[in-house]
Structures are given as structure tokens and as C-alpha cells.
């Protein structure tokens, strides 16, 4: 019987939880791994970026007993579990006898993780890690693309990532890109300010105005993807890899919450 332990082992083949622990040692915060352990068996798995009520309903509709998220189902410590806005989905998952696992920072920095897949989706053939975690893993990717006008490049990005909510600042051509999945804008500014990268274009999400202002003043193009869009692409790739390794009697599904696309 395929069980929870075997599922965790399979997930760690792609994104070892040790990477999350290393990120925490560097000063980041995370809560990856098994979040809710309701039972040992695994017969149906739903992959989705966030644990929401809609995702729980979709899992139950599809006959799944386990949900795997990217963003931790419990991130900040919670003092109580009740039917309130911030805990309702978690409580519903518990009541519905679902297992919940989260693969967050470990998957961000994995060899073929979300940060890598973001760069690949943007057109990278070869990448250079900007902020190394260890000898082979890290966050932030620098890569070159064939010279293209910014507006034309943004059109391509919208098509690849399936979203028209992508915006850009700047007017220069795109030749070299530094990309950071999720909320990596502060890292992006740091890499540019410290001259770790000479990329002409920065791609990331969740940019505060002061960071955007600084990057534009430093003559960088800035392309802002919604956080969900920047990570859903890579998490879907992760799902495809894992689903291909599951036993035939274990069904896997992927759910994209189109409200955030």
C-alpha cells in the first residue's frame, strides 16, 4: 500500500526538506513537511498552491484524501483553530479526514524547483544562481535571452504563464534577466545594488513602491508577475514530475485557482 511516508520520500526526491532547514538557518522562515496527518494511506492527491476552502472542496469532489500545497497550510503560529477566516480551510481539511503536506522553500530552491522553472518559463537555456544556499542550490536566477523589445517580451510572458495581469516598467530592450520567484523583490534590489548581477531586466512579484523606484532609477526594466502566477507555473511542473512516479492506483490532480491568474 502506498502510504504517507512513501509520498514524503517521493516528494523529497525532488525537493529535500533539508533545503528548507538550511534556509531557516540562513534567517528565512518556513514550515514545510506534513502539516495534517489524518491517516497513513494515500489513494488520491490534489496539488494546489494554497490550502483554501475551494481547494478542499475540489479535493473532496475528486475523491482525494491528501492535499499537497506550496504555501504552508500553517505558516505563522495559530493560537486557536475555529471556523474563522484564517483557519476555516484548515479546519475543513481536518474534519474531512484529509492529509495536508506543504513543500515551500525547499521547492523554491531545489534543482528543478519553482525558482528554476520560473527562469525556464521566461526563456532561460542556462542559468546562474545568484544567492547560493549550498554548492548546488540557491535562489535567484540570471540568464540571457535573445535581444527583444520589452513590450514584445511581456506579450510572450503573458502567453507562457497564462495571465494578462503581468505589468512592466521600463523602456529598454531585454537581453539579460534576473528572476526571483514569489516575493523576492528585496533580494532583487540587493543583487542589483551589490552588482552581483548586471541584468537589464528584473522579474519577480510583490514589489513595494520603494523597491520599484530604486530599480527603475538604476535603469532596470521591471516585470511584475502576480505572486500566484510566478509560482503556479513551477508547482504545476513539480506536480507533473511527481504524478509520473506515483503507483498506478494512486490518482493525482492539479488545481489552479483562477481567481489569482
pLDDT for 86 equals: 74
Claim to verify: residue 31 and residue 77 sit in the same structural domain? yes
Query: Is the residue at 253 inside a domain?
Result: no
CATH number at residue 133: 3.40.1390.30
Claim to verify: residue 117 and residue 97 sit in the same structural domain? no
Query: How far apart are the C-alpha atoms of 143 and 147, rounded to whole Å?
Result: 12
Q: Nearest to residue 34, comparing CAs of 63, 60, 71, 68?
A: 68
**Tens of pLDDT, residues 227-259:** 999 999 999 999 999 999 999 999 999 999 999
Residue identified by cell 518559463 is: 121
Percent over 90 (pLDDT), the chain = 92
Q: How confident is the model over 25-34, as a mean pLDDT?
A: 95
pLDDT for 65 equals: 98
Q: Which structural domain range is residue 57 located in? A: 4-106
How deeply is 34 buried, as exposed, middle or buried, from its count of CB atoms within 10 A (0-12, 13-18, 19+)? middle
Q: What is the DSSP pairing of strand 33-36 with strand 99-102? A: antiparallel
> Considering the chain, what is the average pLDDT of its residues?
96
Q: Measured in whole angstroms, how far is the alpha carbon of residue 167 from the centre of its chain?
A: 19
The answer on pLDDT for 84 being more than 90 is no
Claim to verify: residue 83 and residue 102 sit in the same structural domain? yes
Claim to verify: residue 97 and residue 156 sit in the same structural domain? no
Q: Is the four-CA dihedral 89, 95, 96, 102 of positive or negative sign?
A: positive
**Tens of pLDDT, residues 204-220:** 999 999 999 999 999 99
Query: How far apart are the C-alpha atoms of 110 and 98, rounded to whole Å?
Result: 26
Claim to verify: residue 119 and residue 203 sit in the same structural domain? yes
Reported as a pLDDT band with limits 50, 70 and 90, residue 77 is confident
Edge-to-edge strand order for the sheet containing 128-132?
128-132, 138-148, 174-179, 201-204, 221-224, 167-169
Query: How far apart are the C-alpha atoms of 53 and 64, rounded to whole Å?
Result: 14
Reported as a pLDDT band with limits 50, 70 and 90, residue 79 is confident
**Is there a contact between 17 and 32 (Cβ–Cβ < 8 Å)?**
yes
Claim to verify: residue 98 and residue 174 sit in the same structural domain? no
The answer on pLDDT for 63 being more than 80 is yes
Q: Nearest to residue 33, comparing CAs of 59, 52, 7?
A: 7
Claim to verify: residue 58 and residue 119 sit in the same structural domain? no
Claim to verify: residue 12 and residue 38 sit in the same structural domain? yes
Q: What is the 3-state secondary structure (H, E, C) of 116-182?
A: HHHHHHCCCCCCEEEEECCCCCEEEEEEEEEEECHHHHHHHHHHHHCCCCCEEECCCCEEEEEECCC
pLDDT for 39 equals: 96
Residue 27 DSSP SS3: coil
Q: Is the pTM of this model over 0.85?
A: yes
**Structural domain count of the chain:** 2
Claim to verify: residue 119 and residue 60 sit in the same structural domain? no
Q: How confident is the model over 55-69, as a mean pLDDT?
A: 98
**Tens of pLDDT, residues 127-186:** 999 999 998 999 999 999 999 999 999 999 999 999 999 999 998 999 999 999 999 889
Query: Is the residue at 243 inside a domain?
Result: no
The answer on pLDDT for 83 being more than 80 is no
The answer on pLDDT for 192 being more than 80 is yes
Element housing 101 (H / E) = strand 99-102
Number of residues assigned to the chain? 261
Give the residue from 89, 106, 123 where a domain finishes.
106
Amino acid at each position: 500500500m502506498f502510504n504517507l511516508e512513501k509520498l514524503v520520500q517521493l516528494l523529497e526526491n525532488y525537493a529535500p526538506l533539508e533545503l528548507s532547514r538550511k534556509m531557516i538557518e540562513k534567517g528565512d522562515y518556513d514550515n514545510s513537511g506534513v502539516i495534517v496527518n489524518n491517516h497513513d494511506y494515500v489513494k488520491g492527491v490534489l496539488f494546489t498552491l494554497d490550502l483554501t476552502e475551494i481547494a478542499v472542496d475540489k479535493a473532496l469532489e475528486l475523491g482525494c484524501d491528501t492535499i499537497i500545497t506550496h504555501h504552508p497550510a500553517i505558516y505563522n503560529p495559530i493560537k486557536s483553530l475555529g471556523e474563522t477566516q484564517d483557519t476555516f480551510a484548515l479546519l475543513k481539511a481536518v474534519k474531512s479526514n484529509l492529509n495536508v503536506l506543504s513543500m515551500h522553500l525547499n521547492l523554491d530552491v531545489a534543482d528543478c524547483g519553482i525558482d528554476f522553472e520560473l527562469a525556464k518559463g521566461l526563456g532561460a537555456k542556462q542559468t546562474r544562481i545568484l544567492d547560493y544556499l549550498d554548492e548546488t542550490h540557491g535562489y535567484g536566477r540570471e540568464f540571457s535571452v535573445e535581444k527583444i523589445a520589452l513590450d514584445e517580451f511581456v506579450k510572450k510572458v503573458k502567453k507562457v504563464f497564462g495571465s494578462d495581469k503581468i505589468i512592466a516598467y521600463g523602456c529598454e530592450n531585454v537581453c539579460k534577466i534576473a528572476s526571483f520567484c514569489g516575493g523576492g523583490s528585496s533580494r532583487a534590489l540587493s543583487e542589483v545594488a551589490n552588482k552581483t548581477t548586471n541584468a537589464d531586466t528584473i522579474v519577480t512579484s510583490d514589489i513595494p513602491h520603494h523597491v520599484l523606484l530604486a530599480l527603475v532609477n538604476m535603469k532596470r526594466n521591471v516585470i511584475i508577475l502576480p505572486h500566484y502566477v510566478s509560482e503556479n507555473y513551477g508547482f504545476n511542473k513539480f506536480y507533473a514530475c511527481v504524478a509520473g512516479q506515483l503507483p498506478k492506483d494512486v490518482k493525482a490532480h492539479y488545481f489552479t485557482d483562477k481567481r489569482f491568474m
